[in-house]
Structure 1
Amino acid sequence: MMVIGVMIAGSMVWNWFYTLVLLNVIIQLIYVAMTVMKFVMILHGTKVKAQIRFSDQDVQSMDERTLPVYSILVPMYKESKVIPQLVRNLNRLDYPRNKLDIRLLIEQDDVEAQRVIQSLHLPGCFQMIVIPDGQPKTKPKACNYGLIRARGEYIVIYDAEDRPDPDQLKKACLAFRQSPDNTACIQAKLNYFNSQQNLLTRFFTQEYSHWFELLLPGIMQLNIPIPLGGTSNHFKTDVLRKLGAWDPYNVTEDADLGIRLYKENYITKVLDSRTLEEANSQFRNWINQRSRWIKGYMQTWLVHMRHPIRLHHELGIKGFWGAQFMLLSSPLLPLLNPVFWSLLLLWHATHAGWIAAFFPGFIYYLAAAQLLLGNFLFIYTNLAGTYWVVQDLHRKNETWLSYSLVRYGLLTPFYWAMMSIASFKALWQLIRKPFYWEKTEHGFDQERFDTTKSTRVSERG
């Protein structure tokens, strides 16, 4: 990477204009490749076999005596107000209590959370693990502590506000049993119970619907590295330990682990079971959360690309370029978008000749096609993801998401602008505070979803 940087700097000194034109040509080709690749993934994600599916009868016919011990790790920090809700959600899990190993991972300085947990007098399957104070103070570090003495054959990560489907653990067991031996992870799908709270939560719900319902299943079908979700990923415990668990310094530890699993020829599958979370409803809080995610993607890409030739050998051609698509596009495109938006506005305002000079020959038509067709496809896939979820919910007689949400996909460009703000913050933090974990506040939702009855209940907090 340093060699490339030196070459670009030297070329800028030699002839800055031609260097910028060449860079623009490369960027336009990247935009087109990203658009085509993403659309191909979406098409693969629409296949019925893209997700592992089980009927209610499959789950009900399971012999509970044959179920293994299942460990649940719940890392949290300064989230004491959602702990009672967390306990209620975990108690709804349809799994034998004597085979549950629930570990609530609490930081040493989070005294309030420790007191709340102690006051609840939880059943024996719950255990509070106090994480020793020290740096880095991150979610993966806490999970590594929880893994040390985890008893389960399988292990899953949940966040404090998560509401998994009650039968999710049983479905994950079935998925592991029916999958090849090298299946190391079963990723459940994520979505949000407060999608209708405001415009931001609608945007967030559309993004997750598109990501977990279409894109991730498509990636699985293409057999390229999967950036795991930060929650509801079910692992074989022995594989996690073999790989050295999570990188405590990576602030998007799930993406890093997805690459390492692929390196060792393990596969991940997507399960047709949902976990509902609280969508971020406050702009500043959303920026903090998203910048941490993007910074983690930057970290993961830089760590694994330290030796690009070795990485190419470890991942293979398809895996290598798939990793570039998944890890590099998330931070790169939001950083580049404002540059080209500005050029477009400046051209319409001034018709400056130097702007046209940056788009010679066929590059102009390629950029125009990307502006019109590419942006249309990105907006369309957002709409399609939401429509896909609503259709699925209607088949299951669930009504917590409605078709009215689909139309907000037309406002997706405003969401892209927010992503650009978060990306620049992520780049700045990567330089100044690379291992700093930007805390996401929870508990701002105004509508609570009762997962047992598929109805919404208003709750002011």
Structure 2
Amino acid sequence: MRGFDALEGSDVAQSATAPHVTRLSARHPLSRGQRIAMVVFVVVVAAAFVLTWRVSLAVILSVCAVYFLVSSVDKFVLVTRGMSGRGVLRVSDEDARAIPDAELPVYTVLLPVYGEPEIVANLVAGVGKIDYPADKLDILLVLEEDDSETIDAVSRADLDGITPVLVPPSEPRTKPKACNVAMSLPSERSDLVTIYDAEDIPDPLQLRKAASVFAASGPDVGSVQARLGYYNERENLLTRWFAIEYDQWFSYMLPALSASNCVIPLGGTSNHIRTEVLREVGGWDAFNVTEDADLGIRLARYGYRTVVLDSLTGEEANADVVNWVRQRSRWYKGYLQTFLVHTRHPGAMVRDLGLVPTLRISNLTAGMPIANTLNLLFWALLLVWFAGKPDFMNSLFPGPVYYLCLLMFTVGNLATIMLGVVSARTLEKPYLLGAALLVPAYWFLQSMAAIKSMAQLIYKPSYWEKTVHGLSAMPGMPTPPKGSENV
């Protein structure tokens, strides 16, 4: 088992938190300027509500309504643009296999694991089937040193070609911290690096395809994002909703962003990065709980592009509601962290990315949890209106705003639902059509997760909340025992 002879004590902490010496770190969620701006905003809003709460609330609702309109139209445009097939790079299996082994780059594959003693079968069934020359492949199973159950299970297994790496205990206890430690080990071999979760089932030729894309691209292409999908999407209504969302994101939204020369927030796995570029930008932010999305923006700010590869990695969709809320609230909290980090100096962000990419990535990060929280407010006001049509509601929605909200409630919601229906038909998944029609209930779950994420951002900003995986069997594998947990 590989150890940390060269990384002890403060050296380990430094290697794990290298990005924090830069200005783009979530170690301190708010800068001094942001704290002052937030206090000023709260004071102004509070004073306005004391003077005239109805006018103040009407103004806020009007601003929110306009935001919903602009945001919804832009997302609709992007998804429909992605349906045209633009922005996706395709490498055939034949072309991938045609690359001589001697010409392939050395690949580092990171498998961060915590609290997963039953991963061995998954590794063999998924990542263990990667088609890549063994002498050009370094697969690192990244384990926490105090995770005795998983370490014991690994020590008893025959992990041919997989090297366990122990991460000494240090804060924060996050996946990006562990990956930074693994990548800090002395190595001259690595040309490209990617991350898979233990339960992932990547396309066996994905590494060859990504290497082909890098070879055919200029040095400005710093990363390649493969598509993610779910192998248990038929399991229940929640997994079907999740599958619709993922299909739209990875099959349409990200390719459209790429075709529009906008920033691509990386997915949690199957993002392939030039090793020298990863080190240049400082690795992953150990304090950010969506280190993938943050890294995608940081790559863009350093002048690198991310392209989308049509190669699928199968993942396990959360089939349990409580478990889903845990995972989604962490994602939303990380999106808020990422937004706050990159908007500490808005002018610099616009100079680095451009105005439109800045607005779009802000909408896709902070916009998601904020919009889902506001959704709950608007639905609550709708229920109040239907319950008794109180007079004060008339003053909250002056003429133009009333008709705008009515438009969003009818046409906007219907268009969003139909987009899911069209997506299911386009991807030839008729079994998702029923879930697409029932998706408003999924919006309620998203709102619950958004509210939780905002609360945790205040008192647990870098806390990596555990979610349960292994609830669904991998294809070709027996049903897992209850209680199996992953990170």
Matched-pair contact (CA < 8 Å) for 1:294–1:423:
yes
Q: Determine the C-alpha separation between the residues in 2 that align with 1:403 and 1:62.
A: 37
User: Which of 71, 76, 86 is equivalent to 1:39?
Assistant: 76
User: Which of 53, 67, 81 is equivalent to 1:16?
Assistant: 53
Which residue is equivalent to 1:416?
443
Which residue is equivalent to 2:470?
443
Q: Give the secondary-structure state (helix, strand or coil) at the position aligned to 1:184.
A: strand
Which residue is equivalent to 1:395?
none
Which residue is equivalent to 1:262?
300
Which residue is equivalent to 1:349?
387
Matched-pair contact (CA < 8 Å) for 2:49–2:56:
yes
Which residue is equivalent to 1:59?
96
Which residue is equivalent to 1:242?
280
Q: Determine the C-alpha separation between the residues in 2 that align with 1:200 and 1:48.
A: 27
Q: Determine the C-alpha separation between the residues in 2 that align with 1:121 and 1:449.
A: 21
Q: How does 1:193-212 map to 2 (within 5 A)?
A: 193-212=231-250
> What one-letter code is carried by the residue in structure 2 that aligns with 1:271?
L
Structure 1 position 356, deviation (Å): 2.1
Q: Determine the C-alpha separation between the residues in 2 that align with 1:97 and 1:378.
A: 46
> What one-letter code is carried by the residue in structure 2 that aligns with 1:408?
A
CA-to-aligned-CA distance 1:70-96 (integer Å, 9 cap, x gap): 000011111121232113322211110
TM-score between the two structures when normalised by the length of structure 2: 0.88
Matched-pair contact (CA < 8 Å) for 1:157–1:234:
yes
Matched-pair contact (CA < 8 Å) for 2:127–2:198:
no
Which residue is equivalent to 1:454?
none
Q: Give the secondary-structure state (helix, strand or coil) at the position aligned to 2:45.
A: helix
Q: Determine the C-alpha separation between the residues in 2 that align with 1:180 and 1:380.
A: 39
Q: Is 1:291–2:318 an aligned residue pair?
A: no
Matched-pair contact (CA < 8 Å) for 1:194–1:201:
yes
Structure 1 position 460, deviation (Å): 5.7
Which residue is equivalent to 1:137?
173
Q: How does 1:170-181 map to 2 (within 5 A)?
A: 170-181=208-219
Q: Is 1:116–2:153 an aligned residue pair?
A: yes
TM-score between the two structures when normalised by the length of structure 1: 0.93
Q: Give the secondary-structure state (helix, strand or coil) at the position aligned to 1:81.
A: coil
Matched-pair contact (CA < 8 Å) for 2:109–2:139:
yes
CA-to-aligned-CA distance 1:17-67 (integer Å, 9 cap, x gap): 222111111100000001110011112212333200122221222212210
CA-to-aligned-CA distance 1:234-263 (integer Å, 9 cap, x gap): 000100000001110011111111111111
Q: Is 1:228–2:266 an aligned residue pair?
A: yes
Structure 1 position 459, deviation (Å): 3.4
Flag the 1:327–1:373 CA change in 2: closer, same or farther, 3 A. Answer: same
- Report the identity percentage: 41
CA-to-aligned-CA distance 1:398-441 (integer Å, 9 cap, x gap): xxxx4222221111111110011111111111111111100111
Q: Determine the C-alpha separation between the residues in 1 that align with 2:353 and 2:78.
A: 19
Q: Which runs of 5+ in 2 are unaligned?
A: 1-36, 482-487
Q: How does 1:44-443 map to 2 (within 5 A)?
A: 44-123=81-160, 125-149=161-185, 151-390=189-428, 402-443=429-470
Matched-pair contact (CA < 8 Å) for 1:105–1:129:
yes
Structure 1 position 101, deviation (Å): 0.4
Matched-pair contact (CA < 8 Å) for 1:206–1:385:
yes
Q: Which runs of 5+ in 1 are unaligned?
A: 391-401, 451-456
Matched-pair contact (CA < 8 Å) for 1:210–1:384:
no
> What one-letter code is carried by the residue in structure 1 that aligns with 2:155?
Q
> What one-letter code is carried by the residue in structure 1 that aligns with 2:65?
Q
Matched-pair contact (CA < 8 Å) for 2:471–2:480:
no
Structure 1 position 458, deviation (Å): 6.2
> What one-letter code is carried by the residue in structure 2 that aligns with 1:423?
A
Q: Determine the C-alpha separation between the residues in 2 that align with 1:233 and 1:407.
A: 31
Which residue is equivalent to 1:459?
479
Q: Give the secondary-structure state (helix, strand or coil) at the position aligned to 1:190.
A: strand
Matched-pair contact (CA < 8 Å) for 1:93–1:167:
yes
Matched-pair contact (CA < 8 Å) for 2:86–2:256:
no
Structure 1 position 11, deviation (Å): 2.4
RMSD: 1.5
Q: Determine the C-alpha separation between the residues in 1 that align with 2:424 and 2:176.
A: 30
Matched-pair contact (CA < 8 Å) for 1:213–1:389:
no
Q: Determine the C-alpha separation between the residues in 1 that align with 2:130 and 2:433.
A: 31
> What one-letter code is carried by the residue in structure 2 that aligns with 1:444?
L
Q: Give the secondary-structure state (helix, strand or coil) at the position aligned to 2:86.
A: helix
Q: Give the secondary-structure state (helix, strand or coil) at the position aligned to 1:101.
A: strand
Q: Determine the C-alpha separation between the residues in 2 that align with 1:84 and 1:350.
A: 58
Which residue is equivalent to 2:30?
none
Which residue is equivalent to 1:6?
43
Matched-pair contact (CA < 8 Å) for 1:93–1:165:
yes
Q: Determine the C-alpha separation between the residues in 2 that align with 1:323 and 1:60.
A: 36
